[in-house]
């Protein structure tokens, strides 16, 4: 099926899924000191919501997970503000022009950091509604990493500010956070991207409709360049939702 979005022609039958699925085993990526997700059948007395157990006509599971810790998720500025803001209200459009870039984080002291200069060079003057940052090296084992207490790479504050300044509204990255794991709660990259100056009294020019998506995985077969992004979320009234970002090659 062919569709035209933002004057670009895409083939909807050829999606490029860059999300990580959520499972209840050790294959699931984990961050922020959490345990693996739980997916278990409901139990009520001797009744078990699992067809293979022979006592139910349906599979009927409870799921316990944390959007930020257990896989691909999209968050709004409500992630860092005192007042409540929901991703379900902040994200109202779902198709965007997007640039995919690959960056090797730079060693700075004990950290690996994505810098403004690297982002600017990789974009080479291009801009779009969304940016997708793939860090290299890019082994498939990224989909199963245990990030807690590993000091993963992160985005420098100036790089995040640059992304905001060139008008990019949606930032996607294959890391558990755009910020350093242990940063004393400064959250400099989050604040720079959303233009949040005071988390207790939100400024009028804060970027309410902009999002950050973390813990994606972009296969090496997907080449750097321009795409159409379909950013799908579940309708959670929460600062973040598990999400399914999907790319489409532009045909024209």
Question: Which tens digits make up the pLDDT trace of 52-96?
Answer: 988 899 999 999 999 999 999 999 999 999 999 999 999 999 999
pLDDT at 54: 81
The answer to whether position 44 is within a domain reads no
The whole-chain average pLDDT of the chain stands at 96
CB 133 within 8 A of CB 173: yes
Between CA 48 and CA 30 the distance in angstroms is 28
Query: Residue 235 maps to which CATH number?
Result: 3.50.30.50
The answer to whether position 50 is within a domain reads no
Number of domains observed in the structure of the chain: 1
The answer to whether position 38 is within a domain reads no
The answer to whether position 178 is within a domain reads yes
- Quick: pLDDT tens for 161-192: 999 999 999 999 999 999 999 999 999 999 99
Structural domain including 162 reads 2-22+67-249
CB 47 within 8 A of CB 56: yes
- Quick: pLDDT tens for 194-244: 999 999 999 999 999 999 999 999 999 999 999 999 999 999 999 999 999
Burial of 184 (C-beta count, 10 Å sphere; 0-12/13-18/19+): exposed
Rounded to two decimals, what is the model's pTM? 0.96
What tokens were used for 41?
């059948």
Instruction: Give the mean model confidence (pLDDT) for residues 17-39.
Output: 96
The answer to whether position 30 is within a domain reads no
């Amino acid at each position: 099926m062919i569709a035209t979005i933002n004057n670009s022609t895409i083939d909807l039958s050829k999606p490029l899924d860059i999300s990580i699925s959520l499972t209840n085993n050790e294959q699931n990526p984990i961050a922020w000191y959490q345990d693996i997700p739980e997916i278990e059948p409901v139990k009520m007395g001797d009744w078990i919501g699992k067809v293979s157990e022979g006592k139910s006509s349906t599979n009927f599971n409870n799921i316990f997970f944390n959007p930020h810790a257990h896989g691909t998720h999209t968050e709004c500025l409500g992630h860092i503000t005192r007042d409540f803001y929901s991703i379900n209200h902040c994200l109202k459009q779902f198709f965007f022009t997007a640039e995919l870039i690959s960056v090797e984080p730079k060693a700075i002291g004990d950290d690996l950091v994505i810098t403004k200069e690297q982002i600017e060079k990789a974009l080479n003057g291009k801009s779009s509604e969304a940016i997708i940052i793939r860090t290299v090296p890019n082994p498939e084992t990224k989909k199963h990493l245990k990030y807690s207490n590993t000091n993963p790479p992160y985005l420098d504050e100036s790089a995040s500010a640059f992304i905001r300044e060139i008008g990019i509204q949606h930032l996607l990255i294959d890391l558990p956070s755009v910020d350093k794991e242990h940063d004393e709660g400064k959250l400099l990259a989050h604040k720079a991207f959303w233009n949040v100056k005071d988390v207790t009294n939100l400024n009028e020019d804060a970027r309410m409709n902009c999002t950050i998506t973390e813990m994606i995985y972009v296969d090496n077969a997907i080449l750097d360049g321009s795409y159409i992004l379909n950013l799908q979320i579940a309708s959670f009234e929460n600062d973040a939702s598990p999400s399914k970002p999907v790319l489409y090659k532009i045909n024209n």
